[in-house]
Chains A and B, each alone.
Chain A
Amino acid sequence: MKAQNTVLETQNLAKSFRSAGREFELFKSLNLSVKAGETVAIVGKSGAGKSTLLSLLAGLDVPTSGSISLDGQRLDTLDDATRAKLRSEQIAFIFQSFHLLPELDAQANVALPLEIRNEPNAMHKAAEWLTKVGLGERLDHTPAQLSGGEQQRVAIARAFAGEPKVLFADEPTGNLDEETGNQIVEQLFAFNEQQGTTLILITHDPELAARCQRRILLANGTLEER
C-alpha cells in the first residue's frame, strides 16, 4: 500500500563532480520518499546542492550512484528520450525567473509543453488555464507586456495545464515583491490542492517553507527532516 502512495523515492542517492582534476562530493547517501499529494520544502544554504537535488529528482541529471524512482519507475536507468517523455507527461516546473519564451504570447507559452507531447486542443486548454489564473483577457500578450507577477502566473498556468504528477518550484517568489509573492503563493497552493499535485519546493524563505507539510534541510550532504 505504501509503495502505491509513494510518488518519488530516492535510495542512497550520491552525486559528485570532477573539477580541476579533483573529485567533489556533493552528497553520498540521500534517502527521500515523497507521497502523492504531499507538499515538501527543501531548504538549505547556497551551495548545499538544492538545485542539483532538484535536477536529479526531475530527471534532468543522473546520479553518480543510487536510484531515483518516479511513480515506481526508475529514472536513473532510462535513456534521454524516455526521460524526456516522462518529463513532458508527469513533471512540471516553476522557475524563479519565470522563463517564458519572449517571442510567444501568453497562450502559446502555456500551450508549449502540451504541444511538445502532441496533445490536441493545446491552445484551447491553455486559454482555459490562463482564465483560471486570472489572465483570460491577456492571452495574446507577450511576456514583455506582462508584469513579473503576471509572468509567474502564466508560468503557473503552464505548469498545471499539463496535469503533472509532480511540480517542482525553484524559488518561485525570488524575483517578486512581497505582496505579489504572497498572491502567487496563494494561487500555487490553491491549484496544488485542487489538482492533488505533489509539490517539491526549493526556497530560502522560512515563511514559504512553513506552508508545506514537510520541511527538509539539506546540509553537509545529508537530509534532515524538520
Chain B
Amino acid sequence: MNPVVLKLAQRQLWAQLRTVEWRALVLATWLAITLTTFLALLSDRLEQGLLRESASVLGADLVLRSSRPLDDQRTVDAQQAGLNTTTVIQFPTMVGAEDNLVLSSARIVSAPYPLRGEIVTEPAQQTDVPSPGQAWVEPRILEQLQVNVGDRIQFGYVDLEVSARLLTSPDRGSGFRSLSPHVLVNQQDLEASGVLAPGSRAEFRLLMSGEPDQIAAFEKQLQPSLQQHERILSLTSDQPVTGNALGNGMSYLRLSALTALLLSALTIMLALRRFSNGQQTRSALLMSLGLQPREVIRLYLWQLVIAAAIISAVGTACGILFERIADYWIADLLPQALPQAHWWSYLSGAGLGFAMLILLGLPPTLEQARVPVAQLLRGEELNGQTGSGRSLYAISLALLGATILLFLQAPLAAFLLLLALALCGVLFGWVAQQLLHWLARPLAAHMTLGRLLKIRLSQQRRWHRLQSAVVVLLLTLLSVVWVSRQDLIEEWQAQFPEDVPNYFVINIQDWQKPGLDEFLEQRQIETELYPMIRGRLTELNDAPIRPQLNEEQLQDNSLRRELNLTWRDTMPGHNQLLSGQWWDENSTEPEISIERDMLEDLGLKLGDKLGFDVGGQPVSGTITSIREVQWESFRPNFYVIFSRAALENYPATWITSFKLADDERVAATDLLREFPSLTLIDIDQLLEQLAGWLERLADSSAMVLGLTLACGLILIAVTLLQALEQRRFEAALLQTLGSTSRQTQRLDLLEFALLGAVCGALAAASAELILAALHQNLLRVDVRLHPELWLSLPPLAVLLFVGIGFALRSPLRIEQCYHILRSKN
C-alpha cells in the first residue's frame, strides 16, 4: 500500500476533528459504544449469575419442577435410568430472631446437593448441606435480623443455629423467589418446624444429573407424562426461565438502548454525508495529483478505521466504568456477587462501533472514488446520490439494522419496537409540522420578516419533521420514566386506605383455626379467615370445557393452572356485586359467584354450570352472581366462590390478612412464636423488595435514557448543521438588503422557539396519554393530569433548540455578509 495514504489519512483525521460534523460523529459513536459495552457487560454478568440456565445455575443437568409434592415414582424412575437425584422444596417464609422478622425464601435440601456447581459459604463447610439443627443463611437476612454466625434463628417450631453465611449457591429457583434472600435448611428439620403443611404453597424440585445421553433419554421419557403442575428445566430445552423479573428488566433495558443506537446511527450517517459532500473537491484534487480511485477509497476507509479504533478504546473504557457503577448500585439488592463477564462482552461495544462507522462510511467513501476530476475545472459540486449509491446505502443500513437487532438479543421485540418508534416518529413529525404551520400564520402577519418565517418553515420542513420526531419521542420517554419513577410507586402505595392489610397468613390448618381466631381476637386484630381449596376447571354445563372454547380462551390463565377456590355464606365486604344475586345463607344448592374478568374472558354467563376437579373429586355449581374484585386490596381474593353446601366437606387450608400498625408489629413475632408453622408474609417487606428493584430499574433506564437524550441532542445539532450554510447565506443577503442582524437573529430564534414549543407540547400530550394508560391498565389508579409536564416540557424544548441552534449559529457580522455573497459567485 502506498504509505502516503496512511499518513494522509491520519493528518486528514486530525484536521477534520475540528469540524462540527466530525465532532458529532465522534460523540455519537462514543455514546453508542459506551452504552453497548455497558449493557453487554451488565447483562452478561447478571445472566451468568442469576438467569442463564447453565448446569451450575440449575444445580443439576435436568430439573423437574412442580407446584405439588413430587410423586416418589419420579425419583425411582430417574434412578432406574441411571441418574443421580436429590429433591429440593422452596417456599417463602418469615424467619425470626428476637423481635425481628425477615421474609426469606427457604430451601429444604438433603445431600447430595447441589448436583452441579457449588455452594460457597463462610466459613467454608465440609458437608454438602447444613447439618440437622443448623442453617446456612444469606448475609442480607443476618443483617436484618442482627444476628451472626453461631446465633440462633427461629424457623417454624424449631430454632436453628446459623452455622455459615451463604455467599453463592446454584439452584435459586426462578422468578421473584430467586431474588429474595435465601436460607438453606436440612430436610430432617422440616417436619419438626411444621412450616410446610399439606396444601402449602411451595415449589418442589427433583434435581437430576448424569451422562448427557442418559439425561436426554430421560427427558424424552418424562416429557409425555408431565402433569399440568409440572415443568422440565434443562440445558437443552431452550425455553428460558420465563417470568423472571430480572430477565424482563434486562431485556427492557436492552430495548431502551435501541433508541439510542438508532439516533447514533442516524447522526453518524448525516455527519458522514455532510463530510463526504465537502470532500469531493479534495478527492478530485487528489486524483488529479495521481492518486488512484481505489487509493482514495483506502484513504477514507483508513481514516474511519483509525477513528473507530480510538473511539472504541475510549468508549469501551467508559462502558466498563458505567458497569462498575451500576454493579455497586445494585449490589445490595443482589443475593450474591456477580461472576466476571466473558471476554467477548468487553468487545461487543467496540464491535458495534466499528460496524456502525464502516457500514455507514462505506457508501460515501465509495462515492469519493467516483468524483470526476473534471469537477475541479468546472468548479461545481456534485450533488445528489446516484442510483447505485442509494442501493449501497440501503444494503449498509439493512446490515447495520441486523447487527443492532442481533446485539439486542430479542430481534422480534426489537423489530416491533423499531416499527413502533418509526410510526410514532412519523406521526409526531407530521403533527408537529402541521402545528408549526398553523401557529406561524398569525405570527407571520404581525412581523417584518413574517413571510420569511413561513418560507423558512416550509423550506426546513424535512429537517423539522426529523427534529421534532426525535425530540418529541425523547421527551416523552424521559417524562414517562421520570414521572412514573417519581409517583407511580408512591401513588400506588398512597391509594391504599389506612386499614389495608400488611400481613398475610397462609397455610393455616383446620386444627390451628380455633387457636388463631382466639389469638387475633385477644389482640383485637380484625380479620376474617377464608378456606382455600385447589381445583381445576374441567367442565362447562356438564360437558368438557376445552372443546367449547376458542383458541384465545384456551390460553386463559384460569385454564392453565389450578385455581384457589373458597366457600362463604356472605359476600366479602371488599367485593362488589355486579349482577345476579348472592345466595341465601341456608342455601343447600351448589352455587358459584364468579369474578367479572374471568367470566368475560371465558365467555361465561349467569346460569352456566361449572365443574371442577378438586383432588380427583368432581365439584360443580351454577353461576348465580358476578362480582368485581379489587385485586390491590391485599385481602384474600378469589375468582370463584362457592356456596357452603358445595365445598364445606373438602379438606382446606385457611388464609387471612390483617393490618398491624407500626407499634403493633410485635404481634407478628408473637404469632410466629405461638404458631411457628404458619407462613406469615410481611407485605411491606415484599413491597419494599419489589420497590427496590423497580427503583433500580428506573434508575438504570434513566441512565440509558440520559445517554439516549445525549444522542438525540447530537443528532439535532447535526441536522441543524445540514442547513446551516443555507441559513448563513440567507442571513447575509437579508442584512445586505437592509435588515439588521437582530432581525435575522429574531427569525432564527422564532423558528427554534416555535419548534421547541410545539415539540414540548406534543411531548407533554403523548406522555399524558402513556401515563394515563399506565395508571389505568397497569396500576389501576385514578388518571390524573400532570401540569408540571405542560409547564416544563415546552420551555425545556425551546431552550434545547435555541441553545443548540445558537451554539452553532455564530452571529453574522455585517462585514462578513458581502464576503459570503461574493464567495458564492
Binding site for B on A (CB under 8 A): 51, 54-55, 58, 60-62, 80-81, 83-85, 87-89, 91, 93, 95-97, 99, 101, 103-104, 108, 112-113, 115-118, 170-171, 174-175
Question: By the criterion CB–CB under 8 Å, are B738 and A174 in contact?
Answer: no
B824 at the interface (CB under 8 A from A): yes
B81 at the interface (CB under 8 A from A): no
Q: What 1/0 flags go to B719-736 for Cβ under 8 Å of A?
A: 000000000001001111
Question: By the criterion CB–CB under 8 Å, are B737 and A103 in contact?
Answer: no
Task: Rank and list the top 6 A-B pairs by shortest CB-CB distance, nearest first.
Answer: A88-B738, A84-B740, A87-B738, A113-B737, A61-B815, A55-B818
B459 at the interface (CB under 8 A from A): yes
The answer for the CA separation of A118 and B740 in the assembled complex, in Å, is 13
Question: By the criterion CB–CB under 8 Å, are A80 and B815 in contact?
Answer: no
The answer for the CA separation of A95 and B451 in the assembled complex, in Å, is 23
B458: A residues at CB distance < 8 A: 103
Question: By the criterion CB–CB under 8 Å, are B818 and A116 in contact?
Answer: no
B758: A residues at CB distance < 8 A: none
The answer for the CA separation of A132 and B227 in the assembled complex, in Å, is 95
Tell me the minimal C-beta distance from B389 to chain A in angstroms.
23
B154 at the interface (CB under 8 A from A): no
B783 at the interface (CB under 8 A from A): no
Q: Give which listed residue, B740, B743, B821, contacts A99 with CB less than 8 A.
A: B821
The answer for the CA separation of A82 and B137 in the assembled complex, in Å, is 83
A80: B residues at CB distance < 8 A: 740-741, 814
A104: B residues at CB distance < 8 A: 451, 455
Known: A51-B818, A62-B815, A113-B738. A103 touches B449 (CB 8 A): no
B825: A residues at CB distance < 8 A: 95-97, 171, 174-175
Tell me the minimal C-beta distance from A60 to chain B in angstroms.
5
A99: B residues at CB distance < 8 A: 733, 821, 824
Across the two chains, which residue of chain A brings its CB closest to B456?
A103
The answer for the CA separation of A117 and B740 in the assembled complex, in Å, is 11
Question: By the criterion CB–CB under 8 Å, are A117 and B738 in contact?
Answer: yes
Known: A115-B449, A116-B448. A60 touches B814 (CB 8 A): yes
Question: By the criterion CB–CB under 8 Å, are B817 and A116 in contact?
Answer: no
B742 at the interface (CB under 8 A from A): yes
Question: By the criterion CB–CB under 8 Å, are B735 and A84 in contact?
Answer: yes
A117: B residues at CB distance < 8 A: 738
Size class of the contact patch on chain B: 20 to 34
Question: By the criterion CB–CB under 8 Å, are B739 and A84 in contact?
Answer: yes
B784 at the interface (CB under 8 A from A): no
Known: A80-B741, A80-B814, A101-B730. A51 touches B736 (CB 8 A): no
Some 23 contacts from A to B, beta carbons below 8 A apart, are A55-B815, A55-B818, A58-B818, A60-B736, A80-B741, A84-B740, A85-B738, A88-B737, A95-B822, A95-B825, A96-B822, A96-B825, A97-B824, A101-B455, A101-B730, A103-B458, A108-B455, A112-B734, A113-B737, A115-B451, A116-B737, A116-B738, A175-B825
Q: What 1/0 flags go to B795-825 for Cβ under 8 Å of A?
A: 0000000000000000000110110011011
Across the two chains, which residue of chain A brings its CB closest to B732?
A99
B822: A residues at CB distance < 8 A: 51, 95-96, 170
The answer for the CA separation of A43 and B452 in the assembled complex, in Å, is 36
Known: A80-B740, A116-B737. A103 touches B455 (CB 8 A): yes
Question: By the criterion CB–CB under 8 Å, are B733 and A87 in contact?
Answer: no
Known: A87-B737, A115-B449. A103 touches B459 (CB 8 A): yes
How many inter-chain contacts with C-beta < 8 Å in the A-B complex? 83
Tell me the minimal C-beta distance from B30 to chain A in angstroms.
34
Question: By the criterion CB–CB under 8 Å, are A116 and B734 in contact?
Answer: yes
A116: B residues at CB distance < 8 A: 448-449, 734, 737-739, 743
Tell me the minimal C-beta distance from A68 to chain B in angstroms.
14
B815: A residues at CB distance < 8 A: 55, 60-62
The answer for the CA separation of A44 and B733 in the assembled complex, in Å, is 25
A61: B residues at CB distance < 8 A: 814-815, 818
Across the two chains, which residue of chain B brings its CB closest to A174?
B825
The answer for the CA separation of A99 and B737 in the assembled complex, in Å, is 11
User: Which residue, of A83, A85, A101, has the highest number of chain B Cβ atoms within 10 A?
Assistant: A101
The answer for the CA separation of A88 and B743 in the assembled complex, in Å, is 13
Tell me the minimal C-beta distance from B332 to chain A in angstroms.
60
A89: B residues at CB distance < 8 A: 738
The answer for the CA separation of A58 and B736 in the assembled complex, in Å, is 9
Tell me the minimal C-beta distance from B746 to chain A in angstroms.
12
Question: By the criterion CB–CB under 8 Å, are A84 and B738 in contact?
Answer: yes
B741: A residues at CB distance < 8 A: 80, 84
Known: A84-B740, A87-B737, A99-B821. A118 touches B814 (CB 8 A): no
B449: A residues at CB distance < 8 A: 115-116
B459: A residues at CB distance < 8 A: 103
The answer for the CA separation of A87 and B735 in the assembled complex, in Å, is 9
User: Which residue, of A60, A97, A118, has the highest number of chain B Cβ atoms within 10 A?
Assistant: A60
A83: B residues at CB distance < 8 A: 814
Across the two chains, which residue of chain B brings its CB closest to A96?
B825
B734: A residues at CB distance < 8 A: 112, 116
B738: A residues at CB distance < 8 A: 84-85, 87-89, 91, 113, 116-117
Question: By the criterion CB–CB under 8 Å, are A60 and B818 in contact?
Answer: yes
Across the two chains, which residue of chain B brings its CB closest to A62?
B815
Question: By the criterion CB–CB under 8 Å, are A101 and B733 in contact?
Answer: yes
Known: A96-B825, A101-B730. A87 touches B742 (CB 8 A): no
The answer for the CA separation of A89 and B735 in the assembled complex, in Å, is 13
Tell me the minimal C-beta distance from A127 to chain B in angstroms.
15
Q: Give which listed residue, A62, A93, A108, A115, contacts B736 with CB less than 8 A.
A: A93
The answer for the CA separation of A113 and B451 in the assembled complex, in Å, is 12
The answer for the CA separation of A58 and B815 in the assembled complex, in Å, is 11
B742: A residues at CB distance < 8 A: 81
User: Which residue, of B455, B734, B736, B817, has the highest number of chain A Cβ atoms within 10 A?
Assistant: B736
Q: Given A61-B815, A80-B814, A116-B738, 20 more contacts at CB 8 Å? A: A51-B822, A58-B818, A60-B736, A62-B815, A81-B742, A84-B735, A84-B743, A87-B736, A87-B738, A88-B737, A88-B738, A93-B736, A93-B737, A96-B822, A97-B824, A103-B458, A108-B451, A113-B737, A117-B738, A170-B822
Tell me the minimal C-beta distance from B124 to chain A in angstroms.
74
A62: B residues at CB distance < 8 A: 815
The answer for the CA separation of A175 and B733 in the assembled complex, in Å, is 18
B739: A residues at CB distance < 8 A: 84, 88, 116
B452: A residues at CB distance < 8 A: 112
Across the two chains, which residue of chain B brings its CB closest to A123?
B451
Across the two chains, which residue of chain A brings its CB closest to B450?
A115
The answer for the CA separation of A99 and B822 in the assembled complex, in Å, is 10
Across the two chains, which residue of chain A brings its CB closest to B734?
A116
Across the two chains, which residue of chain A brings its CB closest to B730?
A101
Across the two chains, which residue of chain A brings its CB closest to B817?
A60
The answer for the CA separation of A91 and B822 in the assembled complex, in Å, is 18
Tell me the minimal C-beta distance from A163 to chain B in angstroms.
13
User: Which residue, of B458, B742, B822, B824, has the highest number of chain A Cβ atoms within 10 A?
Assistant: B822
A113: B residues at CB distance < 8 A: 737-738
The answer for the CA separation of A200 and B112 in the assembled complex, in Å, is 104
Question: By the criterion CB–CB under 8 Å, are A112 and B737 in contact?
Answer: yes
Q: What 1/0 flags go to B433-460 for Cβ under 8 Å of A?
A: 0000000000000001101100100110
The answer for the CA separation of A115 and B452 in the assembled complex, in Å, is 10
Known: A89-B738, A112-B737. A95 touches B448 (CB 8 A): no
A103: B residues at CB distance < 8 A: 455, 458-459
Across the two chains, which residue of chain A brings its CB closest to B739?
A116
A174: B residues at CB distance < 8 A: 825
Tell me the minimal C-beta distance from A166 to chain B in angstroms.
13
The answer for the CA separation of A186 and B730 in the assembled complex, in Å, is 29
Across the two chains, which residue of chain B brings its CB closest to A158?
B737
A96: B residues at CB distance < 8 A: 822, 825
Tell me the minimal C-beta distance from A129 to chain B in angstroms.
15
B824: A residues at CB distance < 8 A: 97, 99
The answer for the CA separation of A85 and B740 in the assembled complex, in Å, is 8
Tell me the minimal C-beta distance from B747 to chain A in angstroms.
11
Tell me the minimal C-beta distance from A186 to chain B in angstroms.
22
Q: Give which listed residue, B451, B740, B817, contacts A81 with CB less than 8 A.
A: B740
B448: A residues at CB distance < 8 A: 115-116, 118
